[in-house]
Homo-oligomer: A and B are copies of this chain.
Amino acid sequence: MLKPNMHYAELRDSYLFARIGAKIKDYQKEHPEARLYRLGIGDVTRPLCPAVIAALHEAVDDQGSFDRFHGYMPECGAPFLREAIASHYAARGVALSADEVFVSGGASDELGDITDLFAHPCRALMTDPTYPAYMDASVMAGREVTRLPAGEENGFLPLPDESAEADLIYLCSPNNPTGAVYDRERLKIWVDYANRRGAVILFDAAYEAFIEDSTLPHSIFEIEGARSCAIEICSLSKTAGFTGTRLGYTVIPRELVRDGMCLRDMWVRNRTTKTNGISYILQKGGAAVFTEEGQRQIFDNIRVYRENARVLTETFDRLGAWYIGGKNAPYVWVKCPAGMDSWSFFDLLLREIGVIGTPGEGFGASGEGYFRFSTFGSPEDTREAASRLERLLKQYY
């Protein structure tokens, strides 16, 4: 008799966004005419930039041509894209070999797959609040999970607790959901801690393109010592609007060795066994992001989202609300007014002003009492939502 993976039975039943979806559906049934302002889920709204569209069309034409048709791609990524990504890091002062760069179908997919490199019974450490998929993937693998509480006292940027036993450390900076960003000094403390323990940091850099402050690190490999303790997982989803197009990349340095096994070499073996590479078409589109023209165009989009963030943070400044994020990050993490819990705040905003955000409690117990606003909506909706928030909330803060 085949035994299923019974760890799936330990997963919490309901998923944050499913619960939000159900609440919205109920509300729309009662108020079919209501206009909603969605600052909830972190999906982008602006189309792919022209340089990417042109490269995708060209690649599609290649796939329709006898002479230029591409069959199986190299499993770890097309050399043209691995090299473009390595050059992108080099321009930022991080030296990588192109064969330490792996092309992926996106950061979520990679976060799901990559933990196959680690023995199952290991201790995973993640912050609280955190992106729910880290937790669920760890539960599915039967890992023991420790949550490190984040809060106002540490600016939602917790540092390692020397008493906590951790083998696998999830860090996300700029953070989802809080928008908090580790500076070099604090990230160095994590790197040193991981090296001392022989732990491995899975560094989720999906939001790095939103960093404006030049003193903040975009990559963990800007920190000395990271090459022997970190894997960086990145994505074009937020950088270049690829949420529905799909493409990401992962960096595993050769110095990352545990028990004599080189994790980069293990990942090559994993990819050559468990994939047949990433779509040629998508890789050509992705390579266009790293051209001069592509970089200029993606930042035209990012600037729109940054302007949304400015509209929201200025609103919360005027309200006198406590918040972080919105600077160097596409999320604004706001303290709910008047001691309100985050689901009550969700209900209030939905019912009174048709604004949708994400309750902090959905990201972990330490998120209770906080609320996430995404800046990926349209400028018009964001401005309207901000003015509605200001009108409603001035009585609360």
Contact = CB atoms under 8 A, between A and B. Distances in A.
Nearest to A41: B72
A244 B280 contact: yes
A168 B50 contact: no
Nearest to A276: B108
Contacts of A15: 272
A198 B278 contact: no
Contact of A71 (B45, B118, B122, B272): B45
Interface residues of A, number: 79
A126 interface: no
Given A5-B116, A137-B274, A275-B106, A71 B56 contact: no
A245 B283 CA distance: 10
Contacts of A261: 4, 6, 8-9
Given A246-B276, A276-B237, A4 B167 contact: no
Contacts of A64: 47-48, 50, 53
Interface stretch (A29-37, A170-178, A263-271, A352-360): A263-271
Interface string A238-281: 00010111100000000000110101001001101111111111
17 contacts: A1-B259, A2-B118, A2-B122, A6-B261, A8-B117, A9-B261, A46-B69, A47-B64, A47-B69, A53-B60, A105-B278, A109-B276, A112-B113, A136-B269, A140-B270, A243-B276, A282-B282
Interface of A: 1-6, 8-9, 11, 15, 41, 43-48, 50, 53, 56-57, 60-61, 63-66, 69-73, 105-106, 108-109, 111-113, 116-120, 122, 133, 136-137, 140, 167-168, 197-200, 237, 241, 243-246, 258-259, 261, 263, 266, 269-270, 272-282
